[in-house]
Structure 1
Amino acid sequence: MSWGLISEMGHVGIQTTDLKASIWDATQLLGLRVTEQEDNGTAYLAAGDVHHELIYRESDVNGVDSLGLIAKNEGALHTIRQRVEQENLTILKDVAPTAGVEDGFSFVGPEGYIFEIYLNRAVDVAAQKSFGPDRYGHINFHPQNTRSMMEFLKRVLDFRLSDVIGDDYAYFMRCNADHHGIALLPGKGTFHHHAWQTQSVQDLTKLGDRLNKVGRNLIWGPVRHGAGHNIAAYYVEASGAVVELYTDLEQIYDDNRPPIIWGANENWYNMWNDYRPMDFRDFGIRPVERKRAIF
């Protein structure tokens, strides 16, 4: 269900200095599959029956390359394009921005984050289902100005507020029934984590077992969040980005539900206790600069 211009979260694109290690983490720890790999060092991966939900690009830096969003229809794509022009934002590419999608475009948003807006992804049905999440769900990043980023997401991309934390401290925003597709917490402008939905809390414990077997560890969780109510566990992937595996996320079917307001010191981050690792938010990667395409 989607009321506005964006129907669902599309993908996360990450530039990585170690493509092989990033693919290994995504396939052997998280449980995604490679759907396509190009000679230029680009790999497309997915959990669901689509061409991609995660893109890795081999690079000399680690950073977030793009945030993909799926427009509801051609009219929605056109409206977003008009709004981007009215904001005087830089258009990078005026055609389908990645393989496996229909018409679309990409632009540089606030604080250097590159957004790719497009229509339907190609179908890619997994030959066999093994362990792993059902689908890509949401992202969390730490802009220097959370309120400005929140207003941009509302004004240009039609996201709505689900939860507000404190006085302009943090925002959880949705584009469909999922409690949040994008969460914003204040920081130094870094991308923190990409999150994947699974069916059971048992899948989170199995993730912990897989990490332990290769000498790695969860950096937090399992934990029950207050904002969104999801049970989640987190680890750091090869690029330096954090990965979240979660289950039981709140679904909001009332399009006009007012946002829940949390005090900054309430347990919006952990309903089971007030523990939060002090270094949890220190992880993350920065947006990578890209030049405008020559048409």
Structure 2
Amino acid sequence: MSEESKKSNYSYLEKENKNSNKKIIIILFLVVIAAVIGIKFYLDSEKENDRLQQNLEQTYGELDSISTQLDLKIAEIESLGGDITELQLIRKNLESEKEDLKKSNNWAASQIERYKDKVGGYEELLNLQDEKIKKLEAINKELLSENTNLKSEKNVLNDSISRLKNNREVLEDKVEMASRLKAENIKIIAINARGRERDDKEYKPRHIEKLKIQFNLAENSVAQPEGKDIILRVINPLGNALFDVATGSGSFMISGKEMFYTAKQEILFDNTQQQLSFIYDRGEEYKEGVYQLELYADDYLIGKEKFVVN
């Protein structure tokens, strides 16, 4: 091989090596560029994911806060007597959206933006509930005022009714007291064995074979004509009523207490100052002392007197 041919081959090889080196450098440069771009894309992607995660957490926190406020509004509206049916449905839907957001792995910006729009809608709903609460409070205040006035009027009416009732009871008591009968001109007459009568109020035992009690019922414009039981009690010096079943004695109730009486008769009170009399035959001698005499109409005292045996 000639010297000139050797030089030509060497030049060709040298040229080929240079071209090969250039290709390697270009390839390495392209690899570095691709690596840089890939790293930058990865870093940007991580940064975007972090931002989306923060937005997601922030949005969930806002929904959770709205859920708490909505619970308070529902409780307040219910306490004021408002209708909470629709709010309860909204509350249920809100909890469902919170749960969906919590479980979501798709952190797309469009999805988070959609939830942010819902947060705005819920915040507007809360503002509307504030206005509703104010209206309900105003209505309740008005109703409370009306209720207070009604209670006051009711109390006044009850007081008036109570006073009228008391006045009626007092009047009835007065009428009842005014209608009570009264015995007048009470005379205690002793009748001896020969039928002679003495009206001295002091007698010897032998003068009293029988006792005659005579009186009249006073005029009373309030009392109604009706049947009455007139009761006689003759009380001996020991405080005991003279009592003999054989002569018509018995017992009656007065002020819740049982008392014995000496004699009784039924009359028709006719408000004519009618005169009445009892004749009591004891059948034994009267002991010395002061005797009390009491007259009753039904269950109240209408007159009393006394006589002495000595």
Q: TM-score, normalised by structure 1?
A: 0.20
Give the structure with the larger strand fraction: 1
Higher helix share: 2
Bigger radius of gyration among the two? 2
Calculate the TM-score normalised by the size of structure 2: 0.19
